[in-house]
């Protein structure tokens, strides 16, 4: 293994150490079983292997690069939240506040990686994809937590599954694989759904409000995906 991938390995090892620190803090505060630490570590190992497998060479920077390091931090936080999905019955109020706090930090970092990439002139297709997939996985994890915490019905999982269903549909409808036009609407809806899911998880939010907020987020997401789907499937003129 040479080039960018070889340079990225030490950074990913540092990321593993950070992952274990965040997971250990979560484990300690929420008094979780040791299986939580194992699960988060395994998730990070799989993520690191996927990054190495898809990291292109060459890139306009050494290793992961400054922007992708920020995205990696967001990924680490998301993996720490993912490990909580199987422990919903033990989280309680403290656990939900922890999820809201960590989720808020992750979302605040969203956009920082893009800004860093533009500032350092290291914008790449890999970085854009890494950012997008981190966003998608965060929404999946948060929607799973909303469901497992009994804040909304199983329908809320559609918020996190929407992108993956879209990708699956693209294997049947190749037109869905075409590049979409840049859209502020798409970015805004992504932010709104994240905020909505965190609000739904808030311990001080009444159950009916949590359901209404999550339902509104799902409606907006469906509308946004609908616009993109119709645009991609529109008849082409020669």
Q: What is the pLDDT of residues 49-61, one digit of tens each?
A: 999 988 887 777 7
Residue 173 in any domain: the answer is yes
Domain range holding 51? 3-233
169-224 pLDDT per residue, tens:
999 999 898 888 888 899 899 999 999 999 999 999 999 999 999 999 999 999 99
How many domains does the chain contain in total? 1
Residue 96 in any domain: the answer is yes
Residue 100 in any domain: the answer is yes
112-159 pLDDT per residue, tens:
988 888 888 888 888 889 999 999 999 999 999 999 999 999 999 999
Residue 30 in any domain: the answer is yes
Query: Residue 93: which CATH number?
Result: 1.20.120
Residue 83 in any domain: the answer is yes
Residue 225 in any domain: the answer is yes
State the distance between the two ends of the chain, measured CA to CA, in whole angstroms. Answer: 45
The whole-angstrom separation of Cα 216 and Cα 62 is 43
pLDDT at position 126 is 87
- The sign of the torsion formed by the CA atoms of 134, 135, 140, 141 equals positive
Q: Classify residue 31 by its DSSP letter.
A: T
Residue 238 in any domain: the answer is no
Cβ–Cβ < 8 Å for 81, 142: yes
pLDDT at position 232 is 92
How far is Cα of residue 76 from the mean position of the Cα atoms in its chain?
10
Residue 15 in any domain: the answer is yes
Please name the residue ranges forming H helices in the chain: 3-30, 34-54, 66-82, 88-109, 112-119, 125-148, 157-170, 184-201, 207-233
Q: How confident is the model at residue 1 (pLDDT cuts 50, 70, 90)?
A: very low
14-45 pLDDT per residue, tens:
999 999 999 999 999 999 999 999 999 999 99
Tokens of 18: 């950070």
């Amino acid at each position: 293994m040479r080039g960018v991938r070889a340079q990225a390995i030490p950074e990913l090892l540092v990321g593993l150490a950070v992952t274990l620190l965040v997971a250990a803090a979560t484990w300690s505060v929420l008094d979780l079983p040791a299986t939580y630490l194992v699960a988060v570590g395994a998730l990070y190992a799989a993520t690191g292997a996927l990054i190495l497998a898809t990291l292109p060479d060459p890139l306009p920077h050494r290793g992961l690069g400054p922007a992708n390091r920020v995205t990696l931090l967001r990924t680490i936080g998301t993996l720490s939240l993912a490990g909580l999905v199987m422990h919903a019955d033990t989280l309680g109020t403290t656990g939900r506040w922890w999820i809201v706090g960590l989720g808020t930090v992750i979302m605040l970092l969203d956009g920082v990686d893009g800004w860093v990439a533009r500032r350092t002139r290291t914008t790449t297709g890999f970085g854009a994809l890494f950012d997008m997939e981190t966003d998608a996985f965060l929404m999946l994890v948060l929607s799973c937590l909303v469901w497992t915490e009994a804040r909304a019905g199983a329908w809320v999982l559609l918020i996190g599954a929407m992108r993956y269903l879209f990708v699956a549909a693209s294997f049947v409808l190749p037109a869905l694989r075409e590049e979409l036009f840049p859209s502020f609407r798409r970015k805004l809806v992504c932010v709104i759904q994240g905020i909505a899911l965190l609000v739904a998880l808030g311990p001080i939010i009444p159950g009916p409000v949590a359901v209404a907020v999550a339902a509104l987020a799902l409606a907006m997401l469906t509308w946004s995906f609908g616009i993109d789907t119709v645009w991609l499937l529109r008849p082409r003129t020669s």
